[in-house]
Amino acid sequence: MQFSEVSKKFMEMETTTKRLELTSILGSLLDGAGDDLKELVYLIQGKLAPDYEGIEFGISGKLIVKSLANASGQTEEEVNKLFSKNGDLGTTAAELRENIRQAPLVSEDLTLHYVYTKLLDLANSSGPGSVKGKMDIYSDLFMNSKPDDIKYITRIIMGKLRLGVADSTILDSLVSAFSEKKYAEIIDTAYNFHPDIGLIATLLEKRDIKTIENIGPEPLVPFKVMLAERLKSIDDIREKMNHMVAYEYKYDGLRTELHKKGDKIKIFSRGLEETTDNFPDIVSNFKKNYNFDSIIIDGESVPYNPETGELFPFQMVSKRRGRKYGLDEKSLEIPLVMFIFDILELNGKSLVNTPYQERRKILEENFKDNEYFRLATRLVSDDSEEINKFFEKSIEDGCEGVVAKNTSSESVYRAGARGWLWIKFKRDYQKELADSMDLVVIGAFNGHGRRAGAYGALLMASYNEETQEYESFTKLGTGFSDEVLFSLPKMFSELKEDHKPAMVNSKMIPDVWFYPQIVMEIQGAEITVSPIHTCAYSKIEKDSGLALRFPRLVKIRDDKKAEDATTTNEIIELYKMQKKTK
């Protein structure tokens, strides 16, 4: 496949404001990929491999500017000037390529495979001389490209290719192109246990549904964690789960996947990033105390006071969250304990279809509590009074409440799913509006008066998993400190869009649109029916959506991606819960 075909489709995807058009362009692009399919799906994501493989380009914007200056015969100052005007290095590179008017050095068009290979070389170049090596590869790509090609190549290198297609959108398109709807669930499950879109694409292209069916948890490959639904009361939970329930403490820490295979141990975050280096204490303790050939466990790591055993708020170790933060000595001073609540694999055997009660038994047989590893405290009971006491005790012990787990034989481990096999229950749920929400910023309204130069309000959206659209839900203008408020224009400067992005569904038109990327935790007073917002449109009332009244910023959730935001279905559930309290 020629790279110019890819650039052409990328441009079409970028300019459309309609979601259906976006998926149809994506479909035609995938259709024409042939043997290049795997490389293509990574490039559509602006990547060379799944995130957990940790492949990074390792070249800064400054070095790209330098390379552009060298290759185009301009000064760095001139290139920077152009960059300031465009606000985007991709467009800058394209303009410079256009201006030098020299035909690409090679007479044939660049192929996708050539670009992918060169980008991989660029990323893999390391050690002494690697800076020059990376710059040379980039300059070579520049000279061999047409303007539109170098635009997208540059954006990919800078991590700024924003086409608005999440993995789930690509998966749907792959199913339409190479498989049948009846396999969609199998394919989804496989992806949730092995979130490598390239692997799934290759298998689908070969029509190898058998191999896809057999994909399960694999030690050292992160899986998408199972999530919980919410209910309003313990009695509702008992009823929903047919009185077959175990209650576990809901720890407020960092979700932690620990994998071991042979003598390798890896830790992954909920966002599927490898964070092993942030947990040297946990890793060395695991190595010392346990001897499994292979294992995958799921749990929550919580900071605590070793003198008293008291649990601390997770903010104290938030630096351990993502790789980008790095770790200093100080962050290691606060010890962590991993509360284990699930097991997915043991010594080569998958346990995801083994019922929860048996999985717990396996955990109990294999783990004795120690300083670094403990099993989640739990109660199996159907006695209201006993359960309520357990709930109160969980709060007293520094937890957020409980997670109820279905104890029937149906209670499998469902990767990546928010379902009714796990139901969370927090103290807040007794209030009218039960919970805070994590919403995505899709636009902003200009500020006036004291807020001149900043934003007066942000337009916030929920994520509709079914349509894969962001649906407007509230206008947020409260809860910002001045410091946060005045830092917003810079935070969003690179996310500005000159039209409504195709995956945004909004009737309200803000002064400026943003590419949906930043997630904020919001607390509101009430969810109401509203004709203005598109969240759950016509789901509760015809020609109306749902809106959040009196929203207030709690915090910016830099650990969540836009697709991890509160879903429209969760908002419908919250609305129903609120109605029940009234």
The H or E element containing residue 135 is helix 130-144
Q: Which is nearer to ligand ATP, 163 or 520 (CB)?
A: 520
Whichever of 118 and 255 has its CB closer to ligand ATP, that residue is 255
Q: Does 403 bind ligand ATP (CB under 6 A)?
A: yes
In the complex, minimum distance from the CB of residue 355 to ligand ATP, in angstroms, rounded to a whole number: 16
Which residues are CB-neighbours of 323 under 8 A, at least 6 positions away? 54, 273, 274, 275, 277, 278
Nearer to ligand ATP, 191 or 249 (CB): 249
Asked if 457 and 485 count as a contact pair (C-beta separation under 8 A), the reply is no
Structure tokens at 470: 């962001």
Q: Name which of 215 and 404 has its Cβ closer to ligand ATP.
A: 404
Cα distance from N-terminal residue to C-terminal residue, the chain: 60
Q: How many CB atoms lie within 10 A of CB 361?
A: 12
Among 38, 224, 250, 426, the one annotated catalytic: 250
Binding residues for ligand ATP restricted to 248-287, rule: CB under 6 A: 248-251, 255
| 519 scored as a contact of ligand ATP (CB under 6 A) | no
Whether 260 sits among the annotated catalytic residues: the reply is: no
* Eight-class DSSP state of 472: E
CB of 418 to ligand ATP, least distance (A): 7
CA distance 8 to 11: 5
**Cβ within 8 Å of residue 87, ≥6 positions away:** 493, 494, 496
Contacts of 405 (CB under 8 A, 6+ apart): 245, 246, 247, 248, 356, 411, 421, 422
Report the residue number, 250 or 261, with the smaller CB distance to ligand ATP: 250
Q: In the complex, what is the shortest distance from the CB of residue 224 to ligand ATP, in angstroms, rounded to a whole number?
A: 11
Minimal distance, residue 437 CB to ligand ATP, in Å:
9
* Shorter beta-carbon distance to ligand ATP: residue 451 or 561: 561
Report the residue count for the chain.
582
Stretch in the footprint of ligand ATP (CB under 6 A) among 19-27, 187-195, 245-253, 455-463: 245-253
C-alpha 298/C-alpha 283 separation (Å) is 14
Report the C-alpha dihedral over residues 525, 529, 531, 536, rounded to 10 degrees.
100
Given the rule CB under 6 A, which of 12-20, 28-36, 83-91, 246-254 is the region that contacts ligand ATP? 246-254
The distance of closest approach from Cβ of residue 59 to ligand ATP in the complex, given in angstroms and rounded to an integer, is 34
356: closest CA among 283, 316, 412?
Answer: 412
For ligand ATP, give the closer residue by CB, 255 or 323: 255
Q: How far is the CB of 12 from ligand ATP (least distance, A)?
A: 35
SS3 content of the chain, % helix, strand, coil (to 5): 45, 20, 35
Segment holding 337, helix H or strand E: strand 336-346
How many chain residues are in contact with ligand ATP, going by CB under 6 A?
12
Q: Which of 323, 321, 322, 325 is nearest to 336 (CA)?
A: 321
DSSP assignment string, 218-230? -TTS--PPPEEEE
The reply on whether position 131 binds ligand ATP by CB under 6 A is: no
Q: Whole-angstrom Cα distance, residue 552 to residue 477?
A: 7
Out of 341, 413, 429, 515, the residue judged to bind ligand ATP by CB under 6 A = 341
Window 211-240: residues binding ligand ATP (CB under 6 A): 227-228
Q: How far apart are CA 459 and CA 473, in angstroms?
A: 8
Paired with 474 in beta bridges are 460
d(C-alpha 259, C-alpha 488), whole Å: 38
- In the bound state with ligand ATP, the residue whose beta carbon lies nearer, of 156 and 577, is 577
Contact 57, 119 (CB under 8 A): yes
Binding site for ligand ATP (CB under 6 A): 227-228, 248-251, 255, 300, 341, 376, 403, 424
> Which residues are tagged catalytic?
250
